[in-house]
Amino acid sequence: MAIAAQGTKVEIGTGTGTAKSVTAIALGNPTILTSAAHTLANGDVVTLGEFTGDDAATLNTKACVVKNVTNNTFAVDIDTTGKTIVGTAATATPVSWTEIKEVYDVNPDGGESNEIDTTHLRSTAKEFMTGLKDWGSISMDMAWLFDDAGQLALLEAQAAASKKDFKITYTNSKTATFKGYVKNVSGPTASVDDKLTGAASIKISGVVTFA
């Protein structure tokens, strides 16, 4: 069944929130963390800390996308199977999100995998193997708002050439979370009998995580 696009929300990471207390860990893949009434949502990004044990470095300082949320637990895609990690007094510090207002088109280009030529002197035709995937770019069109915190954050990120966290939340509560650089912000464009509009292009760095 088709999913309505109306209501989709685009957000940019603009800081950090209050650290969540982690009181238990279930080792495995994914790793499940217990944090009472954490209020996190699927697709949020947290930085982990204060874990102890011989393999604590597997989690400490790692930025992870939150998945499989319940009221008191959440999962992260880090494999801790067989590790020695204690999480009775650990923390998960979330990214603070700011919505980019009045976006009316979001267009991922899909990216593509690198193509590596493996042809050799005994080949009878050109041969190739697949390399790393480039997740490409995401473009968005929006009504231009001079005082919108999200649109201002896009402009600031472009000026600073800084890598930012982004989250798209769809109407079925599924999310796409990724890091990227703001390549371009254009606008305001003015046309006869129309609203002021703008556009932005974000180059994805790393993978897109769906939750």
* CA 47 centroid distance within chain: 13
- Residue pLDDT tens, the chain, 211 long: 999 999 999 999 999 999 999 999 999 999 999 999 999 999 999 999 999 999 999 999 999 999 999 999 999 999 999 999 999 999 999 999 999 999 999 999 999 999 999 999 999 999 999 999 999 999 999 999 999 999 999 999 999 999 999 999 999 999 999 999 999 999 999 999 999 999 999 999 999 999 9
- Do the beta carbons of residue 86 and residue 53 sit within 8 Å? yes
Tokens 């999962």 found at: 75
Model confidence, pTM: 0.89
